[in-house]
Amino acid sequence: ATPLSVMVGTGKGAQAGILIRSAEALETAHKLDTVVLDKTGTITAGAPVLTDVHPADGIEEDTLLRLVSGAEETSEHPLAGAILAGARDRGLAPPAVGDFDSITGKGVRATVDGHALLVGTARLLDDAGVDTAPLTPVAAELSVQGKTPVLAAIDGRPAGVLAVADTLKEDSAAAVADLQRLGLTVVMITGDSTRTAQAIAARIGVDRVLAEVLPEHKANEIRRLQDEGRTVAMVGDGINDAPALAAADVGMAIGTGTDVAIEAADITLISGSLSGVVTAIRLSRATMRNIR
C-alpha cells in the first residue's frame, strides 16, 4: 500500500467524520464480509423510555414502580435511568436503598424499604428460585412489541413486569440495507431477550441475531464468526463492547459512546450514525482499488 493513498483515504475519512486510527485498519476494512452491530446505543438511540408497568395480582402499580425505582437508583444501566425517569414523571420518589448489587447483563438486587428486590431478566429471577411463570405471558407480549421486559420479584415472589423501549436511530435500517448491498452479512448482538431482539431485527432487516449474550461473551461470539472464516467488523458504543471491538478484525466505535469503547476501536464514527459504517467500508474499498 502506498503511504500517499492511505493518507488521502484517511483524510477523506476525517472529512466525513470517520476517524481511522491506522493504515492497517483502512486496509483490513476492504476485506470485511461480516458486520456485527450492538443493539443498544448502536442500532437504537440508547435513550430508553419506561412504557409499561404491569403489577402481579394483589400489588399496586405505584407500589411496584416505587420499589423497583429504589432498586435501580444506583445502577448505571440505561434501563435504570428510564425506570427512574418514569417514576419521577408519575410523582414517585424512590425510597432509600439498603444493600445493592449489580449483576452484569442481568439486572440488580437490592433491599428497598425493608423488602428484598430483584429486578431484571427472567434468567436473573429464575436463578434466584423465583417462580416466573405468572410473569411470562406479559413479558412475552411486551417482547413481541420490541420492548425490553424488566421482571421484578419482591421478597422472592413474582411482583410484576415493567417495559422499557428504545427508538431506532433514523438511518439504521437504511444502513443495514446498504451493507447488504455491498455484500456483507449483517449480525445484531445484544444481551436483550431473544424475542425482543428478533422484533427489532425484523424492523431493520439484519441477517442474523445473537441474543442473550452476556457482556463477557460478546468477544467470544466475534471469535466464533472468525472461526467460520469470516472477516468481522464489530460496531459498538458501550464499556461492555470494548473486548469485542478489540477482538474484531476492525472495531468501530460510535462517537457518542463511552471513552472505553473509543479507545478499543480502530475506527471512530463521529456522527454516531450507522451510515458511517457504510462510508468507512466504501472508502477502504476505493483506497485499496487505487493502490492496486
Which of Mg ion, ligand ADP, none does residue 175 bind to, with CB < 5 to 8 Å depending on kind?
none
Of 220, 286, 211, which Cα lies nearest the Cα of 248? Answer: 220
Which of ligand ADP, Mg ion, none does residue 160 bind to, with CB < 5 to 8 Å depending on kind?
none
Strands 208-210 and 185-189: parallel
Strands 250-254 and 232-236: parallel
237 noted as active-site residue = no
Which of Mg ion, ligand ADP, none does residue 94 bind to, with CB < 5 to 8 Å depending on kind?
none
Q: Tell me the C-alpha distance between 281 and 277, whole Å.
A: 6
Tell me the three cell numbers of residue 281: 467500508
Instruction: Specify the residue, 41 or 105, whose C-beta has the smaller distance to Mg ion.
Output: 41
Q: Write down how long the chain is.
A: 292
Output the smallest distance, CB 203 to Mg ion, in A.
Answer: 18
Output the smallest distance, CB 219 to Mg ion, in A.
Answer: 14
Q: Tell me the C-alpha distance between 206 and 215, whole Å.
A: 21
Instruction: Specify the residue, 13 or 238, whose C-beta has the smaller distance to ligand ADP.
Output: 238
Binding site for ligand ADP (CB under 6 A): 39-40, 72, 75, 77, 79-80, 105-108, 119-121, 148, 150, 190-192, 215, 238, 240
Strands 115-120 and 107-112: antiparallel
Binding site for Mg ion (CB under 5 A): 38, 40-41, 238
Output the smallest distance, CB 171 to ligand ADP, in A.
Answer: 20
Output the smallest distance, CB 115 to Mg ion, in A.
Answer: 30
Contact 126, 156 (CB under 8 A): no
Active-site annotation, residues: 38
